[in-house]
Structure 1
Amino acid sequence: MVNGRALRIFDGVQLTVVLSVLAVPIAWTFLLAFKTRTEVAALPPKLFFAPTLENFIELFSRNDFLRYTINSLIVAAGSTVLGLVLGAPAAFAVSWHRLSWPATVTLFARMAPGTLFLLPWLIMFTKMGLVGSHFVLILTHAAITLPVVVWVLLPYLDALPRELVECAQIDGARQDQILRLVVMPVVAPGLVVASILSFVFSWNYFLFALVLSGIRTKTAIVASFNFIGEGVTNWGALMAAAVVIALPPLVLTIMIQKRLVGGLAAGAIKG
């Protein structure tokens, strides 16, 4: 009884520490976004203050941050769709034929530093006149989303009964029909998980958009660094930008969190 109570206390302390480490910076960012410049720089910090929207007004009225946010949505959504279109058939082929090296290659591509791809891409797309377009950003961000889709879907596809596919083949279904009408509906939870993770990873990725975007295609996470200058940083506007950048993935995750958790749990069970 004593050991059980001590264990519960220990678990509670651990949970409190972890939540504090994760939640305090997020809460502090949200608080700073609603403070004036004077209150942001105040020492000691003020926990009680009159909230203001001046940082958000400055963000959207003086910096065209809405366009940058739309650019981020276009790039993240486009690269997610491209990753699903390319990654789902690839994951099915890897699973069906019991291959491992294609999945390993995609994993290496994801683990490699972005600078490894950046210079060749910059030279190639510059010669093609495509630097600064949404197309280039979507295509390069697919290098992030494609491995995520492949590795998230593999456990679901490995658990798929092979009889379903074989029955469809006997009935004369084409490969694309089998994939679209038989396989994908069964692994729909995995598609949800892969879509969310791909969107979040692409949304938050900085390097490719920093170098390959143009004035009109700059993403929100790149544009937020406009508030950091030499010796002077507009912390209020920067925190407001951070809040805006954090909202779409947060809202998306909250809306479908049950399917996300269920999909992750289902993907952890093989066989």
Structure 2
Amino acid sequence: MKKAKRMHIFYYVLIILITFIFIFPFIWMILASFKTQAQIMSKSSFLFFEPTFANFQSVFKEYDFLGFIFNSFIVAFVSTILGLILGLPAAFAIAKYKQHHLGFIILIARIIPGISFMIPWFIIFSKMNLVDSYTALILSHMLVGLPFIIWIMISSFESLPQELEDAARIDGCTLQGAFIRVLLPLVTPGMITASLMSFILSWNNFMFALVLSGDKTKTLPIAIFNFMSYSEINWGGLMAAAVIITFPILIISLLVQRYIISGVTAGAVKG
């Protein structure tokens, strides 16, 4: 009995320790965003300091972060919508017709490092005069999110009984009608999970935005460079910008966490 109690205590201590290790950088980022440069560099000011909002004021007044937020949102939102439009039918077809070799090909496309697509993308968009445009960023970001959408949704569609589609066809629906009216509403948790994953990948994407964006379409990850110079790094502004980038995704994730859990586990058990 005592041994079981000790194991129980050890289990919770281990969970707390691991959680703290993962959360500590996030806590440090939030605290540093309210500190001056001198306070950030001082070990004695880690927990006890006089907070300041100057970092957040400089982020919005000096660096036009609202414009960067707008650019990131437009690119992430549209690339996610286009990924769903293309990915949902593809995932349904792969699941319905057991075309798992196509799923493997899509997985290979995701495994290939994104940098290998960067030069061809840049050459193509340069020839079409689309560099520093939303079109170039949206298409390149969709390339990153589309495989995730397809792979998540394949398991969601495979978890649905074939009888649901058959019943819809008997009632007069076409295959497309059964897909839109019957099957899609049943895989909503998977769609939310895939959408959020795609949105996060686009929101945080640095590499494609570095090459394909410009002054008009600069996104948040690229805007972080504004706080770095040859002589110094503005840690306070950098941390404030990181908080601004992180919180929208964090809030969205907390709001839809119930759907994310069910979406990730969809297809894990069939019966």
Q: TM-score w.r.t. structure 1 length?
A: 0.95
Structure 1 residues 206-230: Cα deviation after superposition (integer angstroms, max 9, x where no partner): 1011111111101011111221122
* Aligned equivalents of 1:22, 1:75: Cα separation in 2: 29
Cα distance between partner residues in 2 of 1:7 and 1:175: 54
CA deviations on 1:93-146 (whole Å, 9 max, x unpaired) are 000001112111221111211111000010001000111111111111111211
Aligned residue in 2 for 1:190: 190
Q: Which residue of 2 aligns with 1:125?
A: 125
Q: Deviations over 1:53-77 (max 9, x none)?
A: 1001101101111100111111111
Q: How far apart are the structure 1 equivalents of 2:137 and 2:101?
A: 27
Q: 3-state SS of the aligned residue for 2:131?
A: coil
Which runs of structure 2 are paired with 1:41-190 in the superposition (5 Å)?
A: 41-190=41-190
Unaligned runs of 5+ in 2: none
Amino acid across the alignment from 1:146: L
2:232 is the alignment partner of 1:232:
yes
Greater Cα shift, 43-52 or 10-19? 43-52
- The separation in 1 between residues aligned to 2:30 and 2:224, in whole angstroms, is 15
Check conservation: 1:156, 1:270, Cα contact below 8 A.
no
Tell me the equivalent position of 1:2.
2
Name 1:268's counterpart in structure 2.
268
Q: Could you list the runs of 5+ residues in structure 1 that have no partner in the other structure?
A: none
Tell me the alpha carbon deviations over residues 155-207 of structure 1, each in whole angstroms, 9 at most, x when there is no partner. Answer: 11111111221232334423322221011011111111111111112111110
List, as ranges, runs of 4+ consecutive aligned residues in structure 1 with deviation greater than 3 Å: 43-46
Q: Which amino acid aligns with 2:193?
A: V
Q: Distance in 1 between matches of 2:176 and 2:231?
A: 57
1:20 positional shift: 1.4
In the alignment, is the contact (CA less than 8 A) between 2:83 and 2:146 conserved in 1?
yes
Query: What TM-score results when the alignment is normalised by the length of structure 2?
Result: 0.95
CA distance in 2, matches of 1:11, 1:79: 42
Match of 2:249 in 1: 249
TM-superposed deviation, 1:267: 4.0
Do 2:158 and 2:267's aligned partners in 1 also have CA atoms closer than 8 Å? Answer: no
